[in-house]
């Protein structure tokens, strides 16, 4: 199963998708919590890793629907740091699935290029086995020139860890005694936000969680302060295009109320981001170095 499926729409589905696309605002960025793979596996009497594998196939359909609807950014929660507490069989099974899928991605980069898909893995990837780190780093570097759809895979991720990493980066820079150091007065929300794994992404407009759980599970807690939350009972491997469109419609209903506020916020951030006084020269230098160091790390991991 490829990362982007060849989903075949029925005429009715195509019509419904087109209607949704051209009636009002669609979300720019959707974050999916793909929950319910093991309950699905139990209900079908299949192994739980097969349940996760069917979950991946569904992700490939969902990506196709997002591409066709014109969504620009998708973030998906594939492996929480909390998941390390699961049985070693399951953790190893999930890593094998990820190895398989990232290796396959590297073989089908032409297809990703054709759709302009850039893969970014959000998380503390140094917690992962070295061979998986290498595959992930290679996939990120190989697709870094694409910019039509950003696919962020949260892997070895929790918000608490992400925020801790951001604080560590800032602390490290305030302890530097050279010109690249930060001053305590440079520390504010915008600086911390710029140090998160998602620093190059707008916040999700919609968070979509399957399986009836109405929790956030330490996922993008910083980023979702104004996101619309949509919960559905359906288990992730069973989600249909109709469930997907129901989530988009719920977003449209909710966002029509908060749209003006959100638009103003985006405009404000975009204007500020363009001005050099948004960040001082010192902070700009620090952020530039942070990006360069993270890229250097990817190059080192990819060549390990």
Contact set with ligand FPP (CB under 6 A): 34-39, 52, 55-56, 59, 78, 83, 97-98, 101, 153, 211
Single out the catalytic residue among 59, 149, 196, 235.
Answer: 149
35 noted as active-site residue: yes
101 touches, from ligand FPP, Mg ion, none (C-beta below 5 to 8 Å by class): ligand FPP
SS3 94: helix
C-beta of 7: minimal distance to ligand FPP in Å?
17
User: Which residue in the shown chain puts its C-beta closest to ligand FPP?
Assistant: 55
Contacts (CB under 5 A) with Mg ion, residues 176-205: none
Residue 237 binds to Mg ion (criterion: CB under 5 A):
no
For 252, the enclosing helix (H) or strand (E) is helix 241-274
Shortest distance in whole angstroms from residue 35 CB to Mg ion: 4
Q: What residue 83 binds from Mg ion, ligand FPP, none (CB within 5 to 8 A, per partner kind)?
A: ligand FPP
Of 27-35, 67-75, 86-94, 220-228, the window that binds Mg ion (rule: CB under 5 A) is 27-35
Q: Residue 37 or 75: which CB sits closer to ligand FPP?
A: 37
Active site residue 52: yes
| Cα–Cα dist 127/106, whole Å | 22
Kindly provide the residue ranges of all beta strands, DSSP E only, lying in the chain, ordered along the sequence: 29-33, 73-80, 117-122, 149-157, 206-209, 228-231
CA–CA distance, 26 with 249 (Å, rounded to integer): 9
Rg, Å, the chain Cα set: 20
Count Cα neighbours of 60 within 13 Å in the Cβ-side half-sphere: 19
Alpha helices in 86-228 (DSSP H): 88-107, 109-115, 130-142, 159-174, 189-194
> Is residue 34 close enough to count as binding Mg ion by CB under 5 A?
no
Residues with catalytic roles: 35, 52, 149
């Amino acid at each position: 199963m490829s990362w982007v499926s060849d989903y075949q729409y029925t005429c009715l589905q195509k019509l419904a998708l087109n209607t949704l696309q051209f009636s009002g605002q669609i979300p720019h960025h959707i974050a999916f919590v793909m929950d319910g793979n093991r309950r699905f596996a139990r209900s079908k009497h299949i192994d739980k890793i097969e349940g996760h594998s069917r979950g991946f196939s569904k992700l490939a359909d969902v990506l196709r629907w997002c591409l066709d609807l014109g969504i620009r950014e998708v973030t998906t929660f594939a492996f929480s740091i909390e998941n390390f507490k699961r049985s070693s069989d399951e953790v190893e099974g999930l890593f094998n699935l990820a190895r398989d899928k990232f290796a396959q991605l590297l073989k089908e980069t032409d297809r990703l290029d054709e759709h302009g898909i850039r893969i970014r893995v959000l998380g503390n990837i140094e917690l992962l086995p070295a061979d998986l780190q290498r595959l992930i780093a290679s996939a990120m570097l190989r697709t870094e020139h694409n910019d039509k759809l950003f696919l962020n895979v949260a892997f070895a991720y929790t918000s608490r860890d992400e925020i801790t990493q951001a604080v560590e980066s800032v602390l490290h820079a305030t302890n530097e005694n050279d010109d690249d150091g930060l001053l305590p007065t440079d520390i504010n929300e915008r600086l911390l936000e710029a140090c998160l794994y998602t620093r190059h992404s707008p916040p999700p407009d919609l968070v979509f969680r399957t399986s009836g759980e109405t929790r956030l599970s330490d996922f993008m807690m910083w980023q979702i302060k104004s996101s619309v939350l949509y919960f559905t009972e359906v288990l992730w491997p069973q989600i249909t295009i109709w469930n997907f469109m129901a989530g988009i419609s719920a977003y449209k209903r909710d966002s029509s109320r908060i749209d003006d506020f959100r638009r103003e916020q985006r405009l404000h951030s975009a204007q500020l981001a363009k001005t050099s006084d948004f960040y001082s020269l010192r902070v700009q230098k620090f952020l530039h170095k942070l990006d360069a160091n993270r890229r250097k790390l990817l190059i080192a991991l990819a060549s390990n």
